[in-house]
Amino acid sequence: MIPVAYDNAKATTKPQLPVAKTLVLQSLFYGLVQAGLSLMFIFSMAHNRNPNDAIDVDKCDGEARGFIWFHLVMVTELMIFSVRAPRFVLLSPPPSMYLVGSVFSTIILGGLLAGLLQMWTVPGADIGWIILFNVAAFLVVDLAKILFRKMIGEEPGDVIASDELLTPKTRTETQKTVQKGERYRTHRASIVRESDRCHCVEVKSKSGLPGFFSLGGDTLMDNGFVS
């Protein structure tokens, strides 16, 4: 979390709003797409014609568990770069060295644990297949991310590369009116609904779920639940 907090963040021409619905949709996109790709990869490796590279998912032995574990570690770490990038990852502002170092350190450590721990001992060839597949899948998912964000109206727009003040250019009254109208349209499209800004929480003293939120004593949270 510390490297993420010190990442190189850049503003975009369209505000990125913390709306729960779009955040959940994007989470579902990453989760479902990566789950489908992971299942395809794991079962294709299970039926690999080369017995040296195949994994036994039926017995789920140590090698298979280590294979799946390292694959999931690499998927999770690489997705950090996709989520943080407003556009295609190779065209977006680069991440900070702290973030790059933490992600790749975790991947390297995970690969060493998967290959060296006796309870897993994943072969080096399988680790290589995991790395190749994840790099290719990462680029595919990152491209699909751009299309998905357009579909749900979350396209961030162009990245504002500089923090310096812009020197006003000479414009005609017509140009000023047109650009003012474009700003208003962006503003209206970026308004957050009241239902996304206000959340009412009611704490009931008694309910049909007596054990829910019970702390086992005479406290404000006993015999009640948050709705």
Q: Residue 202: pLDDT band by 50, 70, 90 thresholds?
A: low
Give the chain as a 3 state SS string: CHHHHCCCCCCECCCCCCCHHHHHHHHHHHHHHHHHHHHHHHHHHHCCCCCCCCCCCCCCCHHHHHHHHHHHHHHHHHHHHHHHCCCCHHHCCCCCHHHHHHHHHHHHHHHHHHHHCCCCCCCHHHHHHHHHHHHHHHHHHHHHHHHHHHHCCCCCCCECCCCCCCCCCCCCHHHHHHHHHHHHHHHHHCCCCHHHHCCCCCEECCCCCCCCCCCCCCCCCCCCEEC
pLDDT of amino acid 218: 52
Range among 38-42, 44-48, 183-187, 190-194 rated most confident: 38-42
| Measured distance CA(73)–CA(79) in Å, rounded | 10
What percent of the chain clears pLDDT 90, i.e. is strictly above it? 38
Q: What is the pLDDT of residues 139-161, one digit of tens each?
A: 999 999 999 999 988 887 777 77
Q: Which residue has the tokens 């979350």?
A: 154
94 Cβ neighbours under 8 A, 6+ residues apart: 8
Q: Which residues pair with 204 in a beta bridge?
A: 225
Handedness of CA 209, 215, 216, 220 (dihedral sign): negative
pTM over 0.75: no
Distance CA 14, CA 186 (A): 7
pLDDT tens digits for range 96-133? 999 999 999 999 999 999 999 999 899 999 999 999 99
